[in-house]
Amino acid sequence: MIKKGTHSKTRNRLVRQEALREYMQERGSVQYLFDIVEKIEKLDPESETFTQDLAKYSKVVDVRHKMLGKYLPELKATEITGEGGGDLVINVADFKSA
């Protein structure tokens, strides 16, 4: 949720990031990474092309992961606010000492 007093440049960036998160989720970009990891797990170490296939899939995973990280930085914290973006008020109904 975007706070009321947020600078317009920051607000626009946050809106774009959220839209891109939704797009990536709908497109299945993260699922694609999991699919590639499954392909890596299924590679036969005895195969003549094992090293080449592993290198190819590893490169794809690295590039996709970096791309996702660039456009969708990891969420480090989530701020919880009260109604209308105000302060969060917590009322303790029953408190017992341990």
pLDDT in tens, 48-76: 999 999 999 999 888 888 877 776 667 67
In a domain, residue 2? The reply is: no
Q: Which one is predicted more confidently, 29 or 48? A: 48
Q: Which one is predicted more confidently, 29 or 35? A: 35
Q: Cα–Cα distance between 65 and 24 in angstroms, integer?
A: 12
In a domain, residue 97? The reply is: no
Is residue 90 within 8 A of residue 80, CB to CB? The reply is no
- Structurally, the chain folds into a number of domains equal to 1
pLDDT band at 8 (very low <50, low <70, confident <90, very high): confident
In a domain, residue 90? The reply is: no
In a domain, residue 1? The reply is: no
In a domain, residue 78? The reply is: yes
Which structural domain range is residue 16 located in? 8-85
3-24 average pLDDT score:
77
In a domain, residue 72? The reply is: yes
In a domain, residue 69? The reply is: yes
Please report the pLDDT score of residue 97 as a whole number.
59
Q: Which one is predicted more confidently, 6 or 7? A: 7
In a domain, residue 77? The reply is: yes
